[in-house]
Each structure stands twice: as structure tokens, then as C-alpha cells.
Structure 1
Amino acid sequence: MNAVLEMWQQWLPELWPGFVLSLQVTALCLGLGIALGLVLALGVSNRLRVLRYPALVLVEVGRGAPALILLQFFYFGLPSAGLTLSSYWAAVLALAWCTGAYTSEIIRAGIQAVPRGQLEAAGVMGLTPLDSLRFVILPQALKVALPSLLGFSIMMFQATSLCFTIALPELVSRASSIGSTTFEYMPVLSLAGLMYAAVCAPATLLVAALERRLVRHQ
């Protein structure tokens, strides 16, 4: 056991930049993806076909294609169309598309959970449809959707482990590099797993607490 702890102490400084990079990619893809998800949720709910159908295509492709395929498409596919991205931005944009597709359904479900009487009451008060959406519907919808959004955020942090396939030096990539050099795959991957768990376990407890609070409120 002491030998394993000594190896972990030796490897941690090398794994730490990859861990930080995984967090950065997660934060960016969530920021872009949730904003995209809101736009897509409104687009899918729109009565105009010119808005609804493109939004549906983006949602279905983003949900239907595995995150690994999206990563490969952005990094290896786009250069053939004349657009070359670094592994960092390919990872961010691919995971943001995946995030937007899934969170659009979460946000849309939250919007549908708001009683229709709220919208009618906003109209009676003289609010425009845009103001009704901003000040009445979305605050309530996002409150309902928050636990699911946080739960999905945990999944996206874990999904950053796929970015080693496009040469992004994130946590798993660095752990694999150490393993290929030292042939100590089990210890180094165990350490990487513990670093993921250090984020995911508290976040999971937070999601569970929010869900219980939401149920009590309802």
C-alpha cells in the first residue's frame, strides 16, 4: 500500500494539469451547451416550421450520435471541409452540441411543467410574450430542470474522458501516458478514477438534495 501511495504522490503533479483541463472543457461545454439547449427548446416548441424543423434536426442528431462520433467529426471530419480546429475547441464544441441536444429536452420539460395559468396571468398583467418568458416562465422552468441539468453536468464531466481519442491531454490521456511508460496501469487509472470521484460524488449528493427539496416544495 505504501508503494502505491508513493507512486500516486509522484504521478499527481503530472495528472493535475489534465484534471484541470477536463474541468475547463466541462465548464465551457456546459456554458455553451445549456445556452444552446435553451434556444433549441424554444425552437422545438415554436409553431413556425422554419424554426421548429432545424431545431429538431440539431436535437435529434446531437442525441442520436454518440459523443465519441461528434468528437471525431469535429476534429477529423471538419478539416476535410476546410475548417481545422484544435483538439481543445473540437472537444468543447462537440460536447457543447451534445449538451445542447440533451438539455433542450430537459429545459422543454421544465417549461411544460409550468402551469399554463402562469402565462395567462402574465398576459393579463400586460407583459409581452418575451417578458412573460423571461420573468415568469423561465425562472420557474429552470428551477424544475435544475436537478436534471446538474445530473447531466456530471455525465459531461465524465464524458471528457473520451477526449483522449482526439489527442487532448486531459486526465485519462495523461494517465494512459503514464501507464504506457511505467506499465503500472492499475494504480494510475485508480488514481484518475479517484480524481473523477472527488468531483462526481459530492455533485451527486448535491443533486439528490436538490431533488428532495424540489419534491418537498411541490
Structure 2
Amino acid sequence: MDIYIWFGYVAELLPGLIKALQLTGISLALGYPLALVFAVLIDTTPKPLNWLVIAVVEVGRGIPLLVLLYIFYQGLPQISIVPSSMVAAVSAFTWSAASYATEIIRSSIHSVPSGQIEAASAIGLDGTDRFRFVVLPQAARIAIPPLMGLAIIMFQLSSLAYVIALSEVMQSAYFLGTKTFDYLPVFLAAAAVYASVTIPASALVTSIERRLSRHV
């Protein structure tokens, strides 16, 4: 395998990497705030609405992401909604990310000691202020590492978007392979592109988790 040709393959996959990062970033920017809303609604709303939110979350967790991609990209046109590849991918990834992040955030909120919440009540903080100033800051410390881990997983799963013709890394690698018939070096280049993001990101998550654990 010619190393110069291989680096050429890596360079040709970089536009796909940008697309994968865009998909991941947009989906998380939409999904994580939505997850916070879901987590609060599940714990604070009366049962009919509570059940509806739980159903949305459980369906998002229960349906494989690949199936969600097909539903949004190939299913919605059956009811005269025709999203682009990016819109369909963002919709599927946002739903999936929000569903998994909801449970992370709920668990983090529930892990805040009840004694601190009672103390906040004793000094006159209402429910909103207790959540803003006591619960949320502590829950955030606990939730940040697993949410960052979920972000890495969602980036890796962006490779599934090739099935709906989104020009991310895997689709770029597939077309490059069919053009050159040099499949092994091409897919090794794709693996290197993914690893160049996930390995440093995983190290960052570990570092942040250690720092936060010293202050919990």
C-alpha cells in the first residue's frame, strides 16, 4: 500500500468528516435541550402528559437509529413530506439523542441529595429557584461525562447516514472504493478519520470525568 496514495484517500474523505461533524453537532444542539425538557416534564407533569413524554422517549430508545433514518427519509414522502438527506438525518439523530440523554439527565437529577433540596426549601427558595440554583448545577456535573460519551457514540453512528445518501465519511469512502477498487486502504482511511476524532474526544471525556469527580 502506497502511503502517499493512502494519505490522498484520507484527504478525499475530509469533506465527509465535516458533514458528519455537522450532523452530530446540530443533532446534539437540538437533542440535549429537548432531553432536559423531557426529563423535567416526566418528573413534574400529571400522568396523561407524563405518559405521552415517556412514550416519545421510549420509542426513540426502542427503535434502531437505522430504522428511524428510513422512516424519516423514505417513509415521510408517503405522506407528502419530502425532507432532504440532512434534514431526515438530523431529525432521526435528534430524536435518538434526546431519548437517550433524557435518561442520563433524569438519573443525574435524581442523584442530587434530597437533604440539599430540603435545605434550599428551608431558606425560602421556591421550586423553580431550587431547580436552577441547587439541583441543576449539581446534576450537570454528574451528567456531563455520560452526555459527552453519548456525543461520541452519535458521531460514530453518523456512519449510518450513508444509507440515505448523506455524503458523510462512509458514503464518501464507498464511492471512492468503487472508483479505485482499492477497498482495504480506502476503508482503513475511513477508520483513521473516525479515530482521529473519537480517540482525542474519549481522552477528553476521561480527563473531564476525573476533574469533576474530585469536586463531587
Same fold (TM over 0.5): yes
1:126 match: secondary structure: coil
User: What amino acid maps onto 1:53 in structure 2?
Assistant: W
Match of 2:200 in 1: 202
CA distance in 2, matches of 1:164, 1:30: 19
Are 1:190 and 2:188 matched, yes or no?
Answer: yes
Query: Which piece of structure 1 moves more, 131-140 or 149-158?
Result: 131-140
Displacement of 1:43: 1.8
Partners of 2:82 and 2:129 lie apart in 1 by: 40
Residue of structure 2 equivalent to 1:84? 82
Q: 1:19 — aligned with what?
A: 17
Distance 2:126 2:90 in 1: 35
The residue that corresponds to 1:72 in the other structure is 70
Work out which structure has the larger RCO, using CA pairs closer than 8 Å and 6 or more positions apart in sequence: 2
CA-to-aligned-CA distance 1:4-43 (integer Å, 9 cap, x gap):
x222233334211110000010001111111111111112
Instruction: Mark the runs of 5 or more structure 2 residues left unpaired by the alignment.
Output: none
Query: How many Å apart are 1:207 and its aligned residue?
Result: 1.6
Identify the range of structure 1 (139-148 vs 202-211) with the bigger mean alpha-carbon deviation. Answer: 202-211
The answer to whether structure 1 residue 149 and structure 2 residue 147 are counterparts is yes
1:110 aligns to what? Answer: 108
- Paired-residue identity, %: 45
CA distance in 1, matches of 2:201, 2:9: 25
- State how far apart, in whole Å, the 1-side matches of 2:106 and 2:27 are: 19
Segments of 5+ residues of structure 1 without an aligned counterpart are none
- Name 2:178's counterpart in structure 1: 180
Find out whether 1:40 has 2:38 as its counterpart: yes
Distance (whole Å) between structure 2 residues aligned to residue 19 and residue 163 of structure 1: 12
CA–CA distance in structure 2, aligned partners of residues 43 and 102 of structure 1: 15
Q: Does 1:122 align with 2:139?
A: no
Secondary structure of 1:217's aligned partner:
coil
Corresponding residue of 2:53: 55
Q: Within 1, Cα distance between the matches of 2:95 and 2:160?
A: 15
Q: State the 1:47 CA deviation.
A: 4.6
Letter in 2 for 1:137: V
Give the number of equivalent residue pairs.
Answer: 216
TM-score for the superposition, normalised by structure 1:
0.94
What is aligned with 2:95? Answer: 97
Once residues 216 and 132 of structure 1 are traced to their aligned partners in structure 2, the CA distance between those partners, rounded to angstroms, is 24
Residues in 2 aligned to 1:196 and 1:204: alpha-carbon distance in whole angstroms: 12
> Post-superposition shift, 1:113?
0.6
Q: Which whole-Å CA distance do the structure 1 matches of 2:91 and 2:116 have between them? A: 35
Identify which range, 180-189 or 122-131, moves more after superposition: 122-131
In the other structure, the counterpart of 1:165 is 163
Query: Does the aligned pair in 1 maintain the 2:10–2:190 contact within 8 Å?
Result: no
Q: Partners of 1:167 and 1:20 in 2: how far apart? A: 15
Q: Secondary structure, in 3 states, of the residue corresponding to 2:124? A: coil
Which amino acid in the other structure matches residue 28 of structure 1?
A: I
More displaced, 16-25 or 120-129? 120-129
TM-score by length of 2: 0.95
Letter in 2 for 1:118: Q
Secondary structure, counterpart of 2:214 in structure 1: helix
